[in-house]
């Protein structure tokens, strides 16, 4: 099996590109900040106080130096001496301390990033991704709770009681029209008076409808529920007063602003305008229903409750507005621009301190529309399921001008998708739209509200994209949907799916594929040519690609405008050939045909030291970068080595045989890819060559991977049989060895137990409190403690001579070795048992201290040091 070759770059000792060094200092705050506190205890008082008094200044002032140190000088021993630079003295204190995060007040912002021309670091990206994921889950749970409250029968009762008589009549009408209720025997037409004139027109229809079988839905004027919903929305818009701000996305704000907001939220009395609307429990929710006022969000939640109260299946829909994971303007906190009250800036989680709100002290009626008036799209709304058609009707009770969007009106449903400059400014996004049903389950319905129901549409950049998880052989992936995973906890079980579910899942929630543009139809652009599968510009050819000799351009493309316009020939992709160097072809078992001329010449990529030296030498001599030729497949042929003669295997200059593909094995020979075959061949006295099947790269070296041997075909059977015998013997030897080792380990373990028991008898240590102490493992400490507790034990104090007497006490049986007995510098206590086998029972030493361990220590317990470790 070829050994593992790491493909990914892990670290680089070279300094990163200059751009990285030009990063704004504070961008590295998260990884560096925890280090500063370690130093506080042993740094001089000046730096200490300056750190605590003016952390921002200090961090800011040292930051440029700091980042250089961070990247160029990892040797922290030097850093300890740098007393002036508090933040560079990183891990000076040896003992463990609490990790502290000190974040710079002037936290990095998008603008800083752009000025410094640096992107967010990996860790910063991770922080945002995690924040986003956490926020999404919090919002989901919040909505699940609100949904449960919207199910409350008392809330329903409150809302039902408030309905005027007219609405009750409408409800009854709807029930009859839907066939849910039989019409009363009275001949009086079920039309309400407010539609007087229309009723005249509809009279014939109603006559007809009466001819329908009672108990059957009357669909003659469309789904009757739509009429009812429109009435309910009109009622709700009139009755519900928006008196508080709802949820919204603010973006990432500077830490200082966040801290102020949190402190304000914790310490000040709750103010909905500054801290957001708070409904602590169901009782408060009921009270809100009673008052018919609150945020737009609560308005939609109560509206959902009202619809449910009328016996209609309704879902509470929420378009989550989580903090994102990108670095666009939308993720950056933007304080209200014309704000005159600096205290309000960055202050509230609940409300944007809009000037019109803070300045206007007009009566509530005028103020009512002010909350969230800058949000052009709803965040919460209702989905009503028609009991007749099982289709979903989207209802926004408070915000949109077209509040009722039936399934058929895809454009109206797409109106819920935030778009436009106003939505941009208000940071309204669509990424996850979740509908919570009355049974407590929830399902994702984002697709319904995307324009043309096309993915990813506007969710792009705001929603966690599908993650490609590699599986199986290279190039195979499965798509991992993070949100799908999160939603699994909320979803309705497959067997409990309703007719509504089934219908929408086959229709409204089926995403459309984005319309592919016909590349041939549109005019050429650089982008279209870059991605085209049919045409290509010469400049887009990859390093390993070349044009077929004699390929004719199909047309020309003019790049640039005006004076900078430049004509370029456009070629067919079909005329592009994949090329490889002679060495690369060799690895595929092919060689260039005699007389083949390279289609392309490219600079040599030298990786190993030897190759690098060669390339440098050539570069020095010629003054030009040496090039290597690339050849197309049809310029190469299979390497067919000549058949072997007399059982002799041909070998290359390294004494082995290249066996990258099976065809490279010469006729008359066989590849036996078994380990340890070399020895067997030697034993048998047959000719062989080790088979090189690939290379392993690392440490600027290419190491051949050898898998077994190539032998003459007539020797193959002999070799395999002998190998089997050998392997069986080897296995037996290994089993015996393993058994021996197991027994040894047990023996050692039992001795250890005996020693521990003896130590306990001698010094105690059964006190659980003492055990819990930091040095409870240390028998000396325990002994000392015990003696302190019992001063009249033997009257001796805790001086060194006495300690030595304790050492001596151990010597009588399984005791500790005296200092100097073992001349190594091990910190651990070595206990000698009756069989004179040293056992390390405690070691606070690190590897470097272990390096001096004597030869008699067991390798399996004290790993042998590496050369690198010793070199340091």
Partner DNA sequence: ATGGAGTACAGACCTTTGCTGTCT
Partner DNA sequence: CAGACAGCTTTGGTCTGTACTCCA
- Judged by CB under 7 A, the chain residues 689 through 718 that form the site for DNA are 692, 695, 697-704
> Which of 452, 573, 605, 803: binder of DNA (CB under 7 A)?
605
Check residue 292 and give left, alpha or beta (phi > 0: left; psi -120 to 50: alpha): left
The strand order across the sheet containing 432-436 reads 404-405, 392-395, 380-385, 314-320, 432-436, 442-444
CB of 699 to DNA, least distance (A): 4
**Cβ–Cβ under 8 Å, residues 647 and 714:** yes
Taking the C-alpha atoms of residue 117 and residue 106, their distance in angstroms, rounded to an integer, is: 18
Choose one: 83-91, 152-160, 415-423, 487-495; the region binding DNA (CB under 7 A). 415-423
Please list every residue from 810 through 829 that binds DNA, using CB under 7 A. Answer: none
Strands 627-632 and 829-832: unpaired
CB of 331 to DNA, least distance (A): 8
Taking the C-alpha atoms of residue 834 and residue 492, their distance in angstroms, rounded to an integer, is: 68
CB of 300 to DNA, least distance (A): 23
> Which of 559, 618, 661, 684: binder of DNA (CB under 7 A)?
559
CB of 123 to DNA, least distance (A): 10
Please name which of 629, 611, 582 lies closest in space to residue 697, comparing C-alpha atoms: 611
Check residue 150 and give left, alpha or beta (phi > 0: left; psi -120 to 50: alpha): alpha
CB of 505 to DNA, least distance (A): 27
Taking the C-alpha atoms of residue 143 and residue 315, their distance in angstroms, rounded to an integer, is: 11
Taking the C-alpha atoms of residue 73 and residue 223, their distance in angstroms, rounded to an integer, is: 74
- Pick between residue 178 and residue 581 the one whose CB is nearest to DNA: 581
- C-alpha distances in Å from residue 194, one per residue of 178, 223, 562: 21, 20, 68
Is it true that the peptide bond before 400 is cis, omega within 30 degrees of 0?
Answer: no
Please list every residue from 77 through 106 that binds DNA, using CB under 7 A. Answer: none
Binding flags for DNA, 298-327, as an x/- string (CB under 7 A)? ----------------------------xx
Choose one: 172-180, 310-318, 522-530, 739-747; the region binding DNA (CB under 7 A). 522-530
Return the number of other C-beta atoms located less than 10 Å from residue 636's C-beta: 20
> Which of 2, 166, 560, 650: binder of DNA (CB under 7 A)?
560
Please list every residue from 610 through 649 that binds DNA, using CB under 7 A. Answer: 610-611
Choose one: 131-139, 312-320, 798-806, 862-870; the region binding DNA (CB under 7 A). 862-870
Taking the C-alpha atoms of residue 428 and residue 322, their distance in angstroms, rounded to an integer, is: 10
Q: Would you say the C-alpha torsion 250, 255, 260, 262 has a positive or negative sign?
A: positive
For the chain, how many residues are written?
872
**Cβ–Cβ under 8 Å, residues 305 and 286:** no
Choose one: 36-44, 287-295, 496-504, 671-679; the region binding DNA (CB under 7 A). 671-679
Choose one: 31-39, 377-385, 404-412, 419-427; the region binding DNA (CB under 7 A). 419-427
- Pick between residue 216 and residue 531 the one whose CB is nearest to DNA: 531
**Which residue is it, tokens 């052009």?**
376
CB of 12 to DNA, least distance (A): 5
Choose one: 66-74, 314-322, 565-573, 672-680; the region binding DNA (CB under 7 A). 672-680
Copy the structure tokens of residue 65: 């130096």
**Which residue is it, tokens 């009756």?**
834
Describe the chain by its helix, strand, coil percentages, rounded to 5: 45, 15, 40
- Pick between residue 3 and residue 363 the one whose CB is nearest to DNA: 3
For residue 10, state whether it binds DNA (rule: CB under 7 A).
Answer: yes
3-state class (DSSP) for residue 662:
helix
Q: Compute how many residues bind DNA; rule: CB under 7 A.
A: 80
3-state class (DSSP) for residue 550:
coil
Taking the C-alpha atoms of residue 53 and residue 259, their distance in angstroms, rounded to an integer, is: 17
Please list every residue from 254 through 293 that binds DNA, using CB under 7 A. Answer: none
> Which of 1, 280, 421, 800: binder of DNA (CB under 7 A)?
421
> Which of 268, 525, 556, 744: binder of DNA (CB under 7 A)?
525
> Which of 311, 342, 420, 514: binder of DNA (CB under 7 A)?
420
> Which of 1, 8, 77, 769: binder of DNA (CB under 7 A)?
8
**Cβ–Cβ under 8 Å, residues 245 and 277:** yes
Q: Which long-range contacts (CB under 8 A, 24 or more apart) does 514-517 make?
A: 514/454, 514/455, 515/454
Binding flags for DNA, 374-413, as an x/- string (CB under 7 A)? ----------------------------------------
**Cβ–Cβ under 8 Å, residues 322 and 136:** yes
- Pick between residue 233 and residue 862 the one whose CB is nearest to DNA: 862
- Pick between residue 202 and residue 332 the one whose CB is nearest to DNA: 332
Please list every residue from 336 through 355 that binds DNA, using CB under 7 A. Answer: none
Copy the structure tokens of residue 623: 């003054």
Please list every residue from 453 through 472 that binds DNA, using CB under 7 A. Answer: 461, 465
CB of 420 to DNA, least distance (A): 3
**Measured at the alpha carbon of residue 179, what is the angle toward residues 178 and 185, in degrees to the nearest 5?**
120
> Which of 2, 19, 72, 805: binder of DNA (CB under 7 A)?
19
Binding flags for DNA, 561-590, as an x/- string (CB under 7 A)? -------------------xx-xx-xx---
CB of 594 to DNA, least distance (A): 20
Please list every residue from 110 through 129 that binds DNA, using CB under 7 A. Answer: 110, 114, 117-119, 121-122
């Amino acid at each position: 099996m070829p050994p593992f070759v790491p493909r990914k770059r892990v670290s680089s000792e070279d300094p990163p590109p200059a751009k990285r060094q030009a990063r704004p200092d504070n961008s590295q705050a998260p990884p560096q900040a925890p280090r500063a506190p370690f130093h506080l205890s042993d740094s001089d008082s000046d730096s200490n106080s300056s750190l605590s008094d003016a952390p921002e200044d200090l961090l800011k002032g040292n930051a440029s130096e700091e980042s250089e140190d961070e990247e160029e000088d990892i040797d922290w021993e030097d850093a300890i001496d740098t007393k002036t630079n508090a933040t560079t003295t990183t891990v000076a204190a040896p003992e463990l301390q609490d990790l502290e995060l000190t974040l710079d007040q002037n936290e990095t912002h998008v603008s800083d990033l752009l000025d410094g021309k640096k992107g967010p670091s990996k860790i910063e990206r991770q922080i945002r991704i995690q924040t986003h994921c956490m926020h999404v889950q919090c919002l989901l749970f919040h909505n699940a709770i609100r949904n449960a409250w919207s199910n409350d029968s008392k809330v329903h009762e409150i809302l039902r009681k408030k309905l005027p008589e007219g609405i009750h009549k409408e409800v009854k009408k709807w029930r009859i029209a839907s066939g849910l209720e039989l019409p009363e025997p009275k001949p009086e037409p079920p039309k309400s008076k407010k539609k007087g004139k229309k009723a005249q027109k509809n009279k014939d229809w109603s006559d007809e409808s009466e001819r329908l079988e009672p108990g059957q839905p009357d669909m003659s004027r469309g789904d009757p529920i739509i009429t009812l919903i429109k009435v309910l929305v009109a009622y709700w818009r009139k009755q519900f007063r928006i008196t508080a701000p709802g949820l919204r996305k603010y973006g990432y704000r500077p830490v200082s602003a966040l801290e102020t907001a949190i402190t304000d939220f914790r310490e000040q009395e709750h103010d909905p305008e500054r801290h957001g609307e708070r409904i602590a429990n169901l009782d408060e929710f009921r009270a809100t229903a009673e008052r018919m006022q609150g945020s737009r969000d609560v308005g939609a939640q109560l509206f959902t409750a009202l619809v449910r109260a009328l016996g209609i299946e309704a879902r509470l829909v929420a378009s989550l507005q989580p903090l994102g994971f990108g670095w666009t303007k939308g993720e950056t906190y933007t304080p209200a621009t014309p704000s005159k009250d600096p205290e309000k800036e960055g202050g509230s989680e609940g409300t944007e301190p809009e000037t019109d709100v803070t300045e206007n002290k007009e009566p509530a009626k005028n103020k009512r529309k002010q909350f969230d008036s800058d949000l052009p799209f709803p965040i919460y709304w209702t989905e009503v399921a028609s009991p007749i058609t099982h289709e979903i009707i989207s209802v926004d009770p408070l915000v949109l001008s077209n509040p009722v969007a039936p399934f058929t009106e895809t454009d109206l449903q797409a109106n819920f998708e935030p778009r436009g400059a106003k939505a941009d400014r208000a940071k309204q996004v669509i990424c996850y739209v979740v509908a919570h049903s009355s049974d407590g389950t929830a399902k994702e319905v984002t697709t319904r509200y995307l324009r043309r129901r096309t993915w990813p549409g506007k969710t792009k950049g705001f929603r966690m994209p599908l993650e490609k998880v590699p599986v199986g052989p290279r190039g195979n992936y499965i798509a991992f949907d993070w949100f799908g995973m999160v939603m699994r906890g909320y979803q309705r079980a497959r067997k409990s799916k309703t007719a509504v579910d089934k219908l929408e899942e086959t229709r409204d929630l089926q995403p459309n594929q984005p319309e592919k543009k016909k590349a041939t139809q549109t005019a050429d652009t650089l982008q279209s040519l870059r991605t085209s599968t049919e045409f290509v510009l010469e400049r887009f050819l990859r390093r390993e690609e070349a044009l077929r000799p004699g390929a004719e351009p199909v047309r020309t493309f003019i790049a640039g405008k005006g004076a900078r316009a430049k004509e370029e020939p456009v070629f067919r992709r079909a005329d592009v050939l994949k090329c490889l160097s002679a060495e690369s072809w060799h690895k595929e078992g092919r060689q260039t045909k005699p007389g083949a001329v390279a289609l392309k010449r490219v600079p040599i990529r030298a990786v190993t030291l030897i190759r690098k030296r060669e390339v440098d030498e050539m570069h020095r001599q010629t003054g030009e970068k040496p090039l290597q030729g690339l050849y197309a497949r049809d310029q190469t042929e299979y390497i067919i080595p000549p058949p072997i003669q007399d059982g002799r295997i041909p070998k290359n200059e390294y004494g082995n045989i290249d066996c990258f593909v099976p065809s490279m094995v010469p006729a008359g020979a066989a590849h036996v890819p078994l380990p340890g075959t070399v020895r067997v061949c030697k034993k048998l006295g047959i000719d062989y060559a080790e088979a090189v099947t690939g290379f392993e790269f690392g440490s600027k070296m290419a190491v051949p991977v050898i898998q077994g041997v190539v032998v003459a075909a007539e020797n193959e059977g002999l070799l395999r049989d002998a190998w089997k015998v050998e392997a069986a013997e080897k296995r037996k030897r290994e089993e015996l060895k393993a058994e021996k080792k197991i027994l040894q380990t047990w023996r050692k373990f039992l001795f250890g137990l005996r020693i521990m028991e003896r130590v306990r008898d001698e010094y105690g240590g059964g006190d659980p409190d003492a055990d819990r102490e930091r040095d409870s493992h240390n028998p000396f400490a325990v002994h000392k403690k015990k003696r302190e507790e019992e001063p009249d034990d033997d009257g001796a104090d805790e001086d060194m001579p006495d300690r030595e007497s304790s050492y001596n006490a151990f010597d009588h049986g399984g005791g500790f070795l005296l200092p100097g007995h073992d001349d190594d510098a091990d910190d651990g206590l070595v206990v000698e048992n009756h069989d004179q086998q040293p056992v390390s029972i405690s070691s606070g030493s690190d590897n470097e201290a272990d390096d001096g361990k004597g030869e008699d220590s067991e390798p399996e317990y004290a790993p042998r040091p590496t050369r690198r470790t010793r070199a340091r």
